[in-house]
Structure 1
Amino acid sequence: MKIKNLIAFFITCLFFLQASAQEDSLLVDPQLVIEEPAYKPYDPLSPARAAFYSAVLPGLGQAYNGKYWKIPIVYTALGVGIYFYFENDRQYDRYRSAYKSRLAGNTNDEFYDDNGQPRVSTSGLIEAQRFYQRNKEVSIMVTLGLYALNIIDANVDAHLQQFNVSEDLSLKPNLDYDQFTGTTGYGITLNYNF
């Protein structure tokens, strides 16, 4: 029973301290100049504009958001995907031309050794074509995914730049009177003003 009374006394003290602090804050010095925080004005079209810029030219949305350090990352990611596409295409063409040459009856493609023996069988050429074709398709999908990620990054970054981080976060003790039971509930409220 004593602990309950001690907690009630503690919460009541917090409540009165909060109330007296609010009264002190109501006294305004006429010489006091209130400065508004340096937030950018809210522009609801900014995320859409950043996404559009990144869709037109990768990295342009990041430049619009002022995140210039992301531009080399965007171009490196897209460049790697495009490089692997062309490398897989080149390898695919090598095995495809050797396979066509063997179908025509030639025995002089690059996959024959000096003794005239094939280093890669005809079925091996077919499997290599399938392998490099699949890798080309994966490279295209990865490059398109990275392109979409570039657009999403610009859009999300523009949204987050408009997020208002306010200092108006307060913790207040609360006395709640329940009119139905006639009892008082003690508690602490966390207030966040939007």
Structure 2
Amino acid sequence: MKNTIFIAIVICFVGNIFAQNDSIPVNEELQFDKAVDSKSFEANPFDANAPAKAAFYSAVLPGLGQAYNKSYWKIPLVYLAIGTPMYFYFDNNSKYNRYRDAYKSRLAGFENDEYIGILSDDDLVEAQKLFRENRDLSLLLTIATYILNIIDANVEAHLNQFNISDDLSLRPHQVQNFSTGQQAFGLSLNLKLN
């Protein structure tokens, strides 16, 4: 019986053991010094046309969309990515035309091309086929890099609209576990996206 009364008293008053008086005075009246003008805040307005503009500029002139997005370091990469397959396109096209002209002159009965004694007719046909395939592949790569340039400008303009600050915080904190009445430790990661 003594144990039951003791347990009942402990259960009734265990919640009050952790209650303490607040040592911070509470000011009941809120005082406002001055009103804040909403025009004084510099907010970047959402521009829904910015990705479309960047894509359009990049379609008109490769690299212009990157300049619109202020990613000037990407402009040489764009021209390198588009210019390299374009160079190989023209190089393979000129070689293809040389082998094709030599083969056509042999079919016409002339024996004065630059490959006499070096390449047979079958070799000229194979060389034409090789350089035509390389030329077509270079053209596809040029078109693909041109499209990637437009996509890059569009995606970057979309991502520029997100205001992600460097205000990431990882703070340790204590949490009161009310069921056991003990402190629990933990970490919290706060990420604020405006």
Change (3 A) 1:168 1:90: closer
SS at match of 2:79: helix
Residue matched to 2:51:
47
Of the structure 1 ranges 91-100 and 45-54, higher mean CA displacement relative to structure 2 is found in 45-54
Partners of 2:158 and 2:88 in 1: CA distance: 33
Partners of 2:161 and 2:133 in 1: CA distance: 42
Residue matched to 2:107:
103
**Which AA in structure 1 matches 2:187?**
I
Q: In the TM superposition, what is the alpha-carbon distance from 1:38 to its structure 2 partner?
A: 5.9
Which structure features the higher share of helix residues? 1
Residue matched to 1:71:
75
Residue matched to 1:115:
none
Change (3 A) 1:39 1:144: farther
Residue matched to 1:132:
131
SS at match of 2:173: strand
Larger radius of gyration: 2
The 8 Å contact of residues 102 and 115 in structure 2, kept in 1 or not, is answered as: yes
Q: Does 1:92 align with 2:91?
A: no
Residue matched to 1:14:
none
State, as a whole percentage, how many aligned pairs show the same letter. Answer: 52
Partners of 1:176 and 1:42 in 2: CA distance: 42
Q: Could you list the runs of 5+ residues in structure 1 that have no partner in the other structure? A: 1-19, 113-117
Residue matched to 1:175:
175
Partners of 1:151 and 1:38 in 2: CA distance: 30
Residue matched to 1:15:
none
The 8 Å contact of residues 172 and 185 in structure 2, kept in 1 or not, is answered as: no
Partners of 1:129 and 1:58 in 2: CA distance: 32
- Of structures 1 and 2, the one scoring higher in RCO (CA 8 A, sep 6+) is 1
Please list every run of at least 4 consecutive aligned residues from structure 1 whose deviation after the TM superposition is greater than 6 angstroms.
181-184
Partners of 1:175 and 1:50 in 2: CA distance: 48
Q: Could you list the runs of 5+ residues in structure 2 that have no partner in the other structure? A: 1-22
**Which AA in structure 1 matches 2:189?**
L
Q: What TM-score results when the alignment is normalised by the length of structure 2?
A: 0.67
Residue matched to 1:6:
none
Partners of 1:28 and 1:71 in 2: CA distance: 54
Root-mean-square deviation (Å): 3.3
Partners of 1:57 and 1:106 in 2: CA distance: 46
